[in-house]
């Protein structure tokens, strides 16, 4: 809902714009500017900045095509880069994830996780591009580790030519560093071939992570919902609802990872504001 601010102009409203209730969820976690250090007053408030970010995320438009009445594109991009580099996006994302877990009756820190990857086409140019022969996709690969609610714990974007086992080393190392409470990981067969279980041994020896492989039935045909692992597939589905993530348009992989976090921030804030359905919690173990 759009509203006029006392003494100010009406805020432009687009389908991607934040509602008042969702903004009330996000606003408390943003850094407060120290006015004692001087400097010119900020011309645009934080809410317009986030509205611009979500406009790019949902519409998939280039930065330069942000509507002028919403925010000048260079101001939006400048603050996006600042919040990416100074850790603001990470702090907001991680805080919202902990709150969602609490609302779902879980511990703030997860005890189990699910990794997977998604190969996706890229736009023109950009670094770290390659060919995934298995998926017949030229572009990049998103490596995710999610908790049992499907919330992102770790995201890494690489060339599509990087195998799951190589990407698995990277994300499991990050998982162990950020979430020492995680002791169990459910992965698919791409992370450990029958003749090569090196990743499983490495994960346990280095980080005491028990990696269990969830395999498809030998006689299964077509799509099959796998126990435990369906949550990460659902997360990929959430992400690609946003046009900016239906294809990787970013030139740098750090920006690709940031867009995933922005998408999850919007999703989690919307859930916390009570404006969409709650997650379906099939697991009876509330500790994970």
Q: Phi then psi for 116, rounded to 5 degrees?
A: -170, 170
What pLDDT tens digit does each residue of the chain (288 aa) get? 444 444 444 567 899 999 999 999 999 998 876 655 655 667 888 999 999 999 999 999 999 999 999 999 999 999 999 999 999 999 999 999 999 999 999 999 999 999 999 999 998 778 899 999 988 999 999 999 999 999 999 999 999 999 998 999 999 999 999 999 999 999 988 887 654 578 899 999 999 999 998 876 555 555 455 668 889 999 999 999 999 999 999 999 999 999 999 999 999 999 999 986 555 555 545 557
Chain Cα centroid distance, residue 249? 16
Q: How many CB atoms within 10 Å of residue 170? A: 14
DSSP string, 222-285: S--PPTTTHHHHHHHHHHTTSHHHHTB--SSHHHHHHHHHHHHHHHHHHHHTT-SPPP----S-
Reduced to 3 DSSP states, what percent helix, strand and coil does the chain have, rounded to the nearest 5? 40, 15, 40
Task: Tell me the pTM.
Answer: 0.88
Question: Pick from 163, 160, 122: which is nearest to 142 by CA?
Answer: 160
Q: Which two three-digit tokens encode residue 151?
A: 């919330």
Residue 142: per-residue pLDDT: 98
Q: How far apart are CA 236 and CA 238, in angstroms?
A: 5
Residue 218: per-residue pLDDT: 55
Question: Pick from 14, 89, 23: which is nearest to 52 by CA?
Answer: 14
Q: How far apart are CA 129 and CA 38, in angstroms?
A: 44
Taking CA atoms, 53 is separated from 28, 40, 59, 60, 71, in Å, by 18, 23, 10, 10, 10
Instruction: Return the biggest CA–CA distance within the chain.
Output: 69
Query: What residue ranges define each of the domains in the chain, with the CATH number in brackets?
Result: 107-216+225-251 (3.30.420.10)
Tell me the Ramachandran region of residue 255: left when phi exceeds 0, alpha when psi lies from -120 to 50, beta otherwise: alpha
Burial class (CB in 10 A: 0-12, 13-18, 19+), 126: middle
Residues 6+ apart with CB under 8 A from 100: 149, 151, 268, 271, 272, 279
Q: Confirm if 172 and 185 have CB atoms less than 8 A apart.
A: yes
Q: How far apart are CA 150 and CA 144, in angstroms?
A: 10
Residue 39: per-residue pLDDT: 58
């Amino acid at each position: 809902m759009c509203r006029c601010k006392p003494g100010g102009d009406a805020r432009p409203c687009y389908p991607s714009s934040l509602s008042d209730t969702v903004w009330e969820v996000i606003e408390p976690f943003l850094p407060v500017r120290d006015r004692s250090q001087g400097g010119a007053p900020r011309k645009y408030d934080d809410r317009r900045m986030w509205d611009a970010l979500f406009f790019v995320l949902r519409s998939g438009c280039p930065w330069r095509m942000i509507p002028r009445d919403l925010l000048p594109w260079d101001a939006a991009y400048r603050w996006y880069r600042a919040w990416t580099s100074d850790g603001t996006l990470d702090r907001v994302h991680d805080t919202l994830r902990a709150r969602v877990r609490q609302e779902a009756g879980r511990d703030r820190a997860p005890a189990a996780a699910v990794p997977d990857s998604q190969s996706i086409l890229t736009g023109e140019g950009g670094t770290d591009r390659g060919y995934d022969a298995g998926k017949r996709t030229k572009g990049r690969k998103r490596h995710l580790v999610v908790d049992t609610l499907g919330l992102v714990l770790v995201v890494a974007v690489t060339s599509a030519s990087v195998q799951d086992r190589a990407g698995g080393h990277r994300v499991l190392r990050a998982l162990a560093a950020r979430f020492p409470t995680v002791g169990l990981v459910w992965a698919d067969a791409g992370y450990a071939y029958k003749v090569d279980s090196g990743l499983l041994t490495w994960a346990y020896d280095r980080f005491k992570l028990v990696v269990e492989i969830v395999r498809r039935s030998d006689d299964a045909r077509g799509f099959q919902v796998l126990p435990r692992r369906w949550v990460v597939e659902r997360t990929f589905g959430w992400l690609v609802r946003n046009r900016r993530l239906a294809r990787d348009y970013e030139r740098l992989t750090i920006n690709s990872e940031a867009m995933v976090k922005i998408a999850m921030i919007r999703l989690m804030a919307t859930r916390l504001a009570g404006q969409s359905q709650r997650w379906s919690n099939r697991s009876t173990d509330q500790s994970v």
